[in-house]
Amino acid sequence: MIENDKIRAERRLMMSELFSKIKEVTEIPAISGHEAPVRTYLREKLTPHVDEVVTDGLGGIFGIKHSEATDAPRVLVASHMDEVGFMVSEIKPDGTFRVVEIGGWNPMVVSSQRFKLFTRDGREIPVISGSVPPHLTRGTGGPTMPAIADIIFDGGFADKAEAESFGVRPGDTIVPDSSAILTANEKNIISKAWDNRYGVLMVSELAENLSGQKLGNELYLGSNVQEEVGLRGAHTSTTKFDPEVFLAVDCSPAGDVYGGQGKIGDGTLIRFYDPGHLLLPGMKDFLLTTAEEAGIKYQYYCGKGGTDAGAAHLKNGGVPSTTIGVCARYIHSHQTLYAMDDFLEAQAFLQALVKKLDRSTVDLIKKY
């Protein structure tokens, strides 16, 4: 009984620490092309545990762990730093803004939400997305689905001149204003940006857990930029580092509440298909064998979107790739819901995979 109480207390402490880490990383504001705050976070987290930290030409950041092994394969493990958001496209004479979406948004989740607008000089300005109250739709045929370009963003300014006096200009970024909270059962978290601060935390935790360990591969671990606007950073980092294996680390939409694949709490994902990437047989065998050996809880997942693996696998003559992921409900919105246990399963899985990727394993994956 005492032993069980001790185990429960240790788990509560571990989950409390994990929640604090998740809260910190998800609340960082950073949309595509403006990833500097997350890059600063990762530089601090990676530096003590790797041999060197480098950036690519678009701003991706990676820690390198050199290997003493002969003919060590190059392995690239990459999340992405950016979250979805908006950019000011126009300031109207009445002081309201119109925006362009950065990343994919469902118009149904945009209206009547709080956001933070960041000016060029770093000033943070509260804004909301407007909506039409039902009183104003009477006699007009009822509410209609708005186009994002038509949604009003409102900072309460009297006119365009007042907005500009606070430093607001076209091109300023707008990020969801949302704080991470625990669900009542303390198993799940609700926050913004788990896509893909999940991956950011995954690589920083991987670096810490591998600190001081010798590997059979030359490991490049870090995070790309601009994934949400077309997997752009993956092209850059894969070209720069020329890996023999690429592991994307990303979050996918859960379909459990809609009767589809991806159930929160059921473990990491074996993502065997998405429209931009097919899991090759050698890589699939490696994933499944490693998961079984390590006792990892996993679920099969057929993706409908894409990850950086879709870009990386086509570079440099072809790079065997996969995605180490979890699923979350309601991604690309202010409020995403996901299970902390899934993160722990994915982290254990990623560690097991990286430790096994020596020359013979990589050659087996690439044995066509």
The yes-or-no answer on residue 227 being catalytic is: yes
Helix (H) or strand (E) holding 23: helix 2-26
Structure tokens at 333: 């919105």
- Residue ranges of the alpha helices (H) in 160-222? 160-165, 194-209
Which residue bears the tokens 């109250």?
A: 133
CA distances from 156 to 29, 109, 159 (A): 21, 21, 9
Axis-axis angle for helices 194-209, 36-46 (nearest 10) = 20
Rounded to whole angstroms, how far apart are CA atoms 236 and 316? 11
CA distances from 215 to 53, 66, 167, 292, 362 (A): 17, 8, 50, 21, 13
Which residues neighbour 245 within 8 Å (Cβ) at sequence distance 6 or greater? Answer: 73, 74, 75, 76, 319, 320, 321, 357, 362, 365
User: Is the distance from CB of 81 to CB of 35 less than 8 angstroms?
Assistant: yes
Residue listed under structure tokens 């560690």: 351
| Alpha carbon distance 251, 347 (integer Å) | 13
* Residues pairing with 55 in the sheet: 61
Rounded to whole angstroms, the Cα distance separating 236 from 270 reads 26
* Structure tokens that stand for 133 in this block: 């109250």
Q: Catalytic residue among 83, 227, 228, 244, which?
A: 227
Amino acid at 123: R
What residues are labeled active site?
227
